[in-house]
Amino acid sequence: MIRFFTDGINCFIMRKFSPVLKVIPKIRGGATKQAIRLSEKTIAKTKQVNNFFTEVADFFLFFNRFLRETFSPGFEFREFLRQCFQIGNKSLPLISVTGIIIGLVLTIQSRPALINFGAVSMLPGMVAISLIREMGPVITALICAGKIGSGMGAELGSMKVTEQIDAMEVSSTNPIRFLVVTRVLAATLMIPLLVLYADGLGILGSWGGANIKGDVSFVLFFNQAFGHVHFMDLFPAVIKSFFFGAVIGLVGCYKGYTAGRGTESVGIAANSAVVLSSLLVIIIDMIAVQITDML
């Protein structure tokens, strides 16, 4: 099926560029060399397209296997709890610092503009909404893509290189169920919790920022902040955070699990896991914003 699909794409590209190949015998000297260079470019381009579609198809096959193992009996609950601890608890310091700083910076940057309009009382609500709707989920997901995605890519990649995944398989253990399902589900569950935690600390940081140049009580600030936040601000943000978590876990595991056999492939797996999962987080965010806008 995949072969059929990629062959079809190749065929389309070759047809598009094939006149160059057909005229080679009819033209002379330098012109022939140019045509050959063009045809080499075409072949290289075809290979790139081929690789891209093969990678996409591989990813969907991996996702299909993940779904099948998730819903089959024999869930590795102990490993799932261990992964929740690794992803959730061990990310807390980084998320704490980031959340506070984002709230603080957002407040310090917006305050002068709001003062000009005499709308400084809107500051807590504005910061709370922008943190809960957008900044909290996206920044947390991007940080987790860097920390968790690269960790999964490197860990599973090195397990592949050192034959640990093979050892697991010959020990009658399903490596997808043990390594992938637990990690992806843990990331899917933990990232929304980290997002809520980052939102809370962001608002706390914002209160700190508001108090650097002004004077506002903790209770008043929080009352004003949450007074502007509605259910439909929080709900879509939490839902998209689940998707962020799933995509970070899936991409990290996919890149690690399908890493090559050499040690350099561990680095490549970690790097490409971060790049691809960050990109997908942004794309999912864009789609989520469009859907939320329609509601």
Partner 1 sequence: MDATKIPTITPAKPTSHNKVIEINNLRKGFYGQEVLNNVSLQLFDGENLVVLGKSGSGKSVLIKCIVRLLDPDDGTISVFGENVNSVNRKGLGELRKKIGFLFQSGALYDSMTVKQNLEFPLRRIKKDLTQKERDEKIKEVLEHVGLSEALDKMPSQLSGGMRKRISLARTIVVDPMIMLYDEPTTGLDPVTSDEISSLINEVQKKYKTSSLIITHDIECARATANRVIMLHDGNVYLEGKLEEFEKSTDPLIKSFFK
Residues binding partner 1 (CB under 8 A): 155, 158-159, 162-164, 166-173
Q: Which secondary structure element, helix H or strand E, spans residue 82, and what is its range?
A: helix 77-87
Q: Which residue, 66 or 197, has its beta carbon nearer to partner 1?
A: 66
**Min. distance of Cβ 59 from partner 1 in angstroms?**
21
**Min. distance of Cβ 155 from partner 1 in angstroms?**
8
**Min. distance of Cβ 177 from partner 1 in angstroms?**
11
Closest to 253 measured CA to CA, from 103, 117, 109, 151: 151
Are the CB atoms for 229 and 203 separated by under 8 Å? no
* CA gap 59, 276 in Å, rounded: 12
Burial letters for 171-207: b for 16+ Cβ neighbours within 10 Å, e otherwise?
eeebbbbbbbbbbbbbbbbbbbbbbbbbbbbbbbbbb
Q: Which residue, 181 or 247, has its beta carbon nearer to partner 1?
A: 181
| Tokens, residue 238 | 């939490």
Q: Which residue, 167 or 279, has its beta carbon nearer to partner 1?
A: 167
Q: Which residue, 131 or 159, has its beta carbon nearer to partner 1?
A: 159
| Tokens, residue 180 | 């992938």
Q: Which residue, 40 or 166, has its beta carbon nearer to partner 1?
A: 166
Helix (H), strand (E) counts: the chain: 13, 0
* CA gap 32, 104 in Å, rounded: 64
**Min. distance of Cβ 252 from partner 1 in angstroms?**
16
Q: Which residue, 116 or 171, has its beta carbon nearer to partner 1?
A: 171
**Min. distance of Cβ 165 from partner 1 in angstroms?**
9
Q: Which residue, 13 or 168, has its beta carbon nearer to partner 1?
A: 168
* CA gap 175, 242 in Å, rounded: 24
| Tokens, residue 226 | 């949450």
Closest to 206 measured CA to CA, from 194, 193, 222: 222
